[in-house]
């Protein structure tokens, strides 16, 4: 991981303009390039803004560079930071998703607003106190309004650099009428998905690979991969 501190000396009268430019341009575009904002601070007199960003690689850092209009600041400085150690317990995210079919064999897919360049299977993070099955049912219901019957496990998928573990199941819908969650979901539909047309719906290889395992009827898969660029680093397929 690479950490960068960016400091901007500004005229206090320009603070609101700097703040607006950051939230409308810098933040969304940096996140799209894989950057994570650790924090952003301003001094009490609004004369200095400090940002700390995290990047998964030097290449991601280069892609995430942006130019702040010179009229917004007096002086800017950028510094690479080196960690002196780990001072927090390791954290991991566990998520659930699945290959959900209706009676016609079509697959339930959604377009999430923050990743609307690709269709994907509905699902999300497991909350404290939930079983995997409970979390899967809840997420699908919240996102699409569909009630499901959870079946066998397809596999466990590890996104290495983000410490995310995705558990995927087979499932069928019990009530298949779709009602999307408009705050998060852009579109949802049952799609006649096949190995021949899946790339049209899912250009992202990490998302596509999980669904392909389900289409091929695989079970108990384990796959670990990196996403920038996509590379499988460990795999067990039966």
Residues composing the chain: 238
With bands split at pLDDT 50, 70 and 90, how would you rate the model's confidence at 29? confident
Q: Is the pLDDT of residue 238 over 80?
A: no
Does some domain include residue 87?
A: no
Torsions phi, psi for 50 (to 5 deg): -120, 130
State whether 72 and 180 are in the same domain.
no
Q: Does 137 share its domain with 192?
A: yes
Query: How many angstroms separate the CA atoms of 62 and 55, rounded?
Result: 9
Answer whether 66's CB lies under 8 Å from 29's CB: yes
Question: Are residue 103 and residue 185 in the same domain, yes or no?
Answer: yes
Taking the C-alpha atoms of residue 50 and residue 18, their distance in angstroms, rounded to an integer, is 12
188 and 143 together in one domain: yes
Kindly report which listed range (6-20, 84-98, 144-158, 201-215) carries the lowest average pLDDT score: 84-98
Domain that holds residue 150: 93-236
Q: What is the CATH number of the domain that holds 22?
A: 3.30.70.100
What is the DSSP secondary structure assignment for residue 113, as one 8-state letter? G
Instruction: Identify whether residues 107 and 223 lie together within a single domain.
Output: yes
Check residue 174 and give its pLDDT.
93
Average pLDDT value for residue range 184-207 = 96
Q: Is the domain of 159 the same as that of 120?
A: yes
Strands 48-55 and 123-125: unpaired
**Are residues 102 and 54 both part of a single domain?**
no
Identify which of 99, 96, 101 has the alpha carbon closest to the alpha carbon of residue 190. 101
- Contact status, residue 153 vs residue 167, Cβ threshold 8 Å: yes
Q: Which helix (H) or strand (E) holds 55?
A: strand 48-55
The domain boundary, picked from 39, 55, 81, lies at 81
Residue 65, CA distances (Å) to 56, 59, 69, 77, 100 in order: 14, 10, 13, 13, 40
Burial string for 213-234 (b: 16+ CB within 10 Å, else e) reads bbeeeeeebebbbbbeeeeeee
Q: How many domains does the chain have?
A: 2
pLDDT grade, residue 56 (50/70/90)? Answer: confident
64-115, pLDDT tens digit by residue? 777 888 899 999 999 999 888 877 766 899 999 999 999 999 999 999 998 8
* 11 and 65 housed in the same domain: yes
Classify residue 180: in a domain, yes or no.
yes
- The residue ranges of DSSP E strands in 126-216, in sequence order, are 147-159, 164-175, 185-191
CATH number at residue 226: 3.90.79.10
Q: Domain for residue 186, yes or no?
A: yes
Q: Is residue 149 part of a domain?
A: yes
């Amino acid at each position: 991981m690479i950490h960068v501190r960016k400091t901007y000396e500004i005229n206090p009268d320009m603070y609101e303009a700097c703040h607006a430019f950051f939230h409308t341009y810098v933040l969304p575009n940096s996140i799209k390039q894989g950057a994570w904002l650790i924090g952003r601070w301003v001094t009490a007199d609004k004369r200095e803004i400090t940002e700390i960003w995290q990047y998964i690689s030097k290449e991601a850092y280069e892609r995430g560079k942006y130019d702040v209009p010179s009229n917004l600041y007096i002086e800017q400085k950028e510094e690479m930071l080196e960690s002196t150690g780990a001072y927090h317990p390791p954290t991991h995210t566990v998520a659930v998703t699945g290959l959900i079919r209706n009676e016609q064999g079509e697959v339930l897919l959604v377009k999430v607003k923050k990743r609307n360049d690709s269709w994907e299977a509905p699902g999300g993070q497991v909350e404290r106190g939930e079983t995997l099955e409970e979390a899967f049912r809840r997420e699908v219901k919240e996102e699409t309004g569909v009630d499901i019957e959870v079946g066998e496990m397809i596999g466990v998928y590890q996104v290495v650099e983000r410490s995310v573990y995705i558990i995927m199941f087979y499932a069928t819908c019990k009530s298949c009428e779709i009602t999307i969650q408009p705050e998060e979901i852009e579109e949802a539909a049952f799609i006649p998905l096949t190995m021949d047309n899946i790339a049209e719906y899912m250009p992202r290889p990490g998302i596509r690979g999980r669904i392909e395992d389900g289409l091929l009827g695989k079970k108990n898969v384990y796959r670990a991969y990196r996403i920038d660029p996509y590379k499988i680093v460990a795999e067990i397929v039966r």
